[in-house]
Amino acid sequence: EALDKGLRERLMVSDEVVGLVTQLGKEGKVELGVISNHGQDWFDDIFVRFGLWDKFPKENIIVSCHAKCAKPSKEIFVYANERFLKAYPGLQPSEVVFIDDQLRNIEAAQNHMGWHTIQFNFEKEPYENLVKGLRELGVQC
């Protein structure tokens, strides 16, 4: 339990990324979603600590333990896409941008769904790389 608590406390989300999520969501520029491999308790802890619950529509939050599959499996992306299509009928793969720090997840989203992708790790890369990648895909931020 102490190890679990210590690991959770080390897990961080960049203030810049939280700010970008807030900006994009509030301005209605994009619909935001999450596909997470964390367990529900970890996920809840992260979202509470960083004030993220009000930034994502509930139907766009995919936690692998509920989907009964995980990234990079094709099944989790199909599951997410079905949820997104229910919320946004007519959504095209070219309208989805998937951001992840793991190359295997990026490749799976591209290969299985045809989504646009950006590989980004805020602990290792400057925030500007994420903004540049989004702008290259036409997202105004």
The pLDDT of residue 139:
94
**For residue 122, what are the CA distances in angstroms to 13, 15, 34?**
8, 10, 16
d(CA 115, CA 92): 9
d(CA 136, CA 114): 17
CA nearest to 118, candidates 90, 96, 87, 140? 96
Domains and CATH numbers, the chain: 2-19+30-136 (3.40.50.1000)
Strand partners, 118: 99
Q: pLDDT tens digits for 55-74?
A: 999 999 999 999 999 999 99
pTM (predicted TM-score): 0.89
Residues of the chain short of pLDDT 50, as ranges, are 3, 6
